[in-house]
A and B are shown apart, each in its own frame.
Chain A
Amino acid sequence: MEEAVVVAGKAIGAGLAMVGALGGGIGIGLAVGGAVQGMARNPDHTGTIQTNMILGVAFAEAVAIYALVVSLIILFVLS
């Protein structure tokens, strides 16, 4: 019984930690949306825009990845 409670707590905690991915998702969506609009209006600068977009996406994604690492630690490292 006690073990089941621990497992349930871990699962709930890991799931709640992944709520942090919300911000990363919104951020990446906005960044890519803006970059695609920029490329459509100004195709000559596609290369520059793409580089900066990947950079921004990587930064935005890093926050979501922190949430992922926290939930992975909760699931597989805490005992």
Chain B
Amino acid sequence: MTLNWSGKRRWIALILVLASLVVMFNWPPVVPVIQLPGEIYPSGEVFGLPITNTFAGSVVVWILILVLIRVVGSRRPRDGGEVPRGGFYNFFEMAFEGLYGFIGGIAPERYLGPIFKMFMTIFVVVLLSNWLELIPGIDSIGFLHPHVHEVDGHTELLEGFDTATLGGVYYVNGQCPWVSPDVAATMSGEALQARADAGCHSGIPAMEEPDDPAEASDDDHADEAADDEHADEIDYHHVEPGDPAVPWVILPYIRVPSTDLNMTLAIALIAVVMIQVMGFRALGIGYLTKFFNFSTLLKSPLGGIDVAVGLLELIGEFAKILSFAFRLLGNIFAGSILLFVMSFLVPVIVPWPFFLLEFFVGIIQAIVFGLLTAIFMSLATVSHHHDEEHHEEAAAGAH
């Protein structure tokens, strides 16, 4: 098979690949700082609660869902006819009908409506949250943040990078890991010269004559930072961007909401509570006999087993919450780390198949989350096994 190179888009793709090669060698990629809790925005609290970038990500998801509702809803045929109104609307109709049939095969017909609504809601929210990780720049564009850690009243400086500017925009310089003045004093002259050639700032004033007063004061600050007793004299949260006295990292504006335990736990709690609601709706107060089954305790010598099984079911309900929350968190957090690391190791071509993999992982996890909710809901609407057997026996005895 020969490639057709006549199309204009292929040339655009080729030019972009070459451009990314140029960018890769001139501005080497930086491993992002990986942390599990959402990074808190440096400024601004709402009602005393700090805002995290994963929350900003979920706001993006909400907006996307509202836009989808508007766009898809506006293309619906208004006269109730079945004339197609364009591929975008048809795609949603196809997906909707497919999933409706899919859930129809699982859920009891009587409760198909509420179960499908719950499934579809969870599916859409989780799917859009997961796919947010595929957008380039979501995890790499953000605030420039001094990477410091407050321990027991004094400030500890962590690993980070020097900054540089390009057209007034700051970025972390991957060629220059930040070094403290103490470490710089122990480095060889060649290593320092190599750092100076690469345009690094930290550790450099230690070997050069400070000719600029501002630079000299920076130097003083850097010396003090190394000394724990005077570390408090620098306000690390209000340093100028690019100050070589502190290590810098990027704090992303938006992070994938599924990588925050708060978001996955919230959806898991909603799902598990709605499963119980479904059970009570179908079986009334009798739903509780699934968990507290004392009916056979005195009648049968093995009645104690039913009590124990009921308690295990009760524990199982709480295990469902953890299992839902950790499954989504683990898959998507691991996936976004995979994308970071692959993009760091080889920024061109190699990450592409991993993006495809994460595309499918996003769909599968969204379907699994919704499907498990639908299945547990269907199970909750079914009465307890022993009761059914008794009913059947009673019915058989009557005949």
Q: Which residues of A contact B (CB under 8 A)?
A: 47-48, 51, 54-55, 58, 61-62, 65-66, 68-69, 72-73, 75-77, 79
Contact = CB atoms under 8 A, between A and B. Distances in A.
A68 B336 CA distance: 14
A16 B287 CA distance: 42
Interface in B347-368: 364, 367-368
Main secondary structure of the interface of B (DSSP, over half): helix
Contact of B327 (A51, A55, A65): A65
A67 to B, nearest CB: 9
Given A66-B326, A69-B326, A76-B35, A55 B371 contact: yes
A51 to B, nearest CB: 7
Contact of A58 (B102, B326, B329, B368): B368
Contacts of A54: 364, 367-368, 371
Contacts of B105: 47-48, 51
Contact of A68 (B36, B330, B367, B372): B330
Nearest to B331: A65
Interface in B20-68: 34-37
B171 interface: no
B334 A72 contact: yes
A72 B36 contact: yes
Given A51-B105, A54-B367, A65 B36 contact: no
Given A62-B327, A66-B326, A68-B334, A73 B371 contact: no
A62 B102 CA distance: 23
B367 A72 contact: no
Interface residues of B, number: 23
Main secondary structure of the interface of A (DSSP, over half): helix
B238 to A, nearest CB: 24
Interface in B308-340: 323, 326-327, 329-331, 333-334, 337
B36 A76 contact: yes
A72 B333 contact: yes
Q: Which 5 A-B pairs have the closest CB atoms?
A: A65-B330, A58-B368, A69-B330, A68-B330, A62-B323
A48 B105 CA distance: 8
Interface in B77-102: 102
A70 B37 CA distance: 14
Given A51-B371, A65-B327, 18 more contacts: A47-B105, A51-B102, A51-B105, A51-B106, A54-B371, A55-B371, A55-B372, A58-B368, A61-B327, A62-B323, A66-B330, A72-B36, A72-B333, A72-B334, A76-B34, A77-B35, A77-B37, A79-B149
B36 A73 contact: yes
B156 to A, nearest CB: 10
Contacts of A47: 105
A9 to B, nearest CB: 18
Nearest to B333: A72
28 contacts: A51-B102, A54-B364, A54-B367, A54-B368, A54-B371, A55-B368, A55-B371, A55-B375, A58-B368, A58-B372, A61-B327, A62-B326, A62-B327, A65-B326, A65-B330, A65-B331, A66-B330, A68-B330, A68-B334, A69-B326, A72-B36, A72-B330, A72-B334, A76-B34, A77-B35, A77-B36, A77-B37, A79-B149
A32 to B, nearest CB: 13
A47 to B, nearest CB: 7
B167 to A, nearest CB: 33
Contacts of A77: 35-37
Interface string B105-142: 11000000000000000000000000000000000000
Contacts of A61: 327
Contacts of B368: 54-55, 58
Contacts of A75: 34
B361 to A, nearest CB: 11
Nearest to A77: B36
A66 B334 CA distance: 12
Given A51-B105, A72-B334, A58 B36 contact: no
A72 B332 CA distance: 12
B10 to A, nearest CB: 37
Contacts of B372: 55, 58
